[in-house]
Amino acid sequence: MKNIATLFCCLFLSVSAMAQQNWKAVMRYDKQLAKEQLTKRFMEYVTYDTQSSSHSQTTPSTKGQLALAKALAKELKRIGASNVQTTKTGFVIAEIPATTAKPTPTLVFLAHLDTSEALSGQNVKPQLHAKYKGGDIIINKEKNLCLTEYNSPQLLQARGHDIITAYGETLLGADDKAGIAIIMTFADYLLGNLNIEHGPIKIVFSPDEEIRTGIKALDIDALQADYAYTVDGGGLGEIVVENFNSRRFNAVFNGMRSVHGEYAMNADFSDNVLMASDFHTLLPRHRRPENTSGTRGYIYVHSITTEDDRSVVSGNIRAFTDEEMQELSQIVTQAFNTTKSLNPKNKGAELTFQDEYKNAKAVIPAEVIEMAENAMRQEEIQPKRISVRGGTDGGILSFKNLPTADLFAGMFNTHSALEYADVDVMEASLRTLMSTACGWVGQKTE
């Protein structure tokens, strides 16, 4: 019965695709003009310093995100969006009314405002490398900083494309201002072409995605939507269908290091620094992030702190399956127990785990993925399902009863000075959003 249902769903989507309105003909779509609009928007948005801060206790964590949020809200009002609002927590929310009377689900398209803490986001100066001809792209001659087909293999498919980089002093901010530029242009097209048939659409720009705190403040019930798509991915045709499970661990070791070394052997001397080192060393190197790839999970210690007689080792476990998560958690537990046995004079030790986010694969309905894939095929783009080795806002939203998949946005080498945006891939993402919105018409689910 499951196979029959799957076949029916595929046939249903195929028939729907055949009947889908030709939105490009309705609005007389001009690809070059779309690229120019995307480029203009993107190069403006990246000048806002929206770097988030994990040391902040507020949402949004930085004032720059609010500045961009207010500018985007103003632009959304100017192009005709409805019910535009900027929340105190830094969200921009807007609506695009339906242009069809057919039963159609309410869709949300999201991108995040912030950029990574990995590199400065201040005084970003974007530079356009038009119609890439192959070979190296010089980002900063003085620093000998270049994009090459070795450090950026995606360039092998980018001949003739427009490439945007920064100047090597900062992040570019393509993650996720490429997504913002795509969604804003998408909204502009729908609001400026009311003959294009689509259902109710909501636009959301969220804060603090990079530090995994922002999306938790979004009121899903008030949003009143059925499905969502984040536009926060990379290469042409990519759609994220699953993400890592993430579990944080803290290993605390208490010792007594105040005893003079001369008398340590026959005293209560206990070295908490050594315990922290032992624990870290006992974690297997072959399960570290730099030694794993694909769907294989990892254990990563991100900090070891010591204050007097107390040392704390903090880290993450990432795995796609619950079974592997349990396996890796057991490895961490064994290393902790072995450390205690090696240091019998310890003055107390504690290991705790805390789940951060879950793999959304099991809770995203097949039709959410298939509709986007069908939209790509409509645009002669080959869909590529990928598993992302990290977390996404979509994963969090999916477990808050808003099934959310992530679509490509043309950003590459993110979180580094080599970050760049491919405008031609951004334009393909724009067309994917347009066809996805049109493809859902008449597909209302109960």
Active site members: 114, 209
Omega of the bond prior to 60 within 30 degrees of 0, cis? Answer: yes
Return the amino acid letter for 79: I
Structure tokens at 305: 């702190």
Q: Which residues pair with 303 in a beta bridge?
A: 314
Strands 310-319 and 298-307, sheet pairing:
antiparallel
Omega of the bond prior to 176 within 30 degrees of 0, cis? Answer: yes
Q: Is 101 exposed, middle or buried (0-12, 13-18, 19+ CB in 10 A)?
A: exposed
Question: Considering only CA atoms, which of 184, 182, 261, 223 is closest in space to residue 423?
Answer: 182
- CA 381 to chain CA centroid, Å, is 21
Structure tokens at 397: 């939203």
Do the beta carbons of residue 230 and residue 406 sit within 8 Å? yes
- DSSP track, 198-245: ---EEEEEES-TTTT-SGGG--HHHH--SEEEEEEE-STTEEEEEE-E
CA–CA distances in Å: residue 39 to residues 44, 179, 181, 421: 8, 12, 8, 10
What does residue 183 show for φ and ψ, rounded to 5 degrees? -65, -40
Strands 227-233 and 404-408, sheet pairing:
parallel
What does residue 262 show for φ and ψ, rounded to 5 degrees? -60, -30
Task: Collapse the DSSP code of 21 into the 3-class scheme (helix H, G, I; strand E, B; otherwise coil) and give the result.
Answer: coil
Structure tokens at 406: 């992530």
What does residue 13 show for φ and ψ, rounded to 5 degrees? -65, -35
Do the beta carbons of residue 257 and residue 269 sit within 8 Å? yes
Virtual torsion, Cα 170, 173, 174, 178, nearest 10 deg:
-150
Return the exposure string of 323-359: e unless at least 16 CB atoms fall within 10 Å of the residue's CB, then b.
ebbeebbebbeebbeebbeebeebeebebeeeeebbb
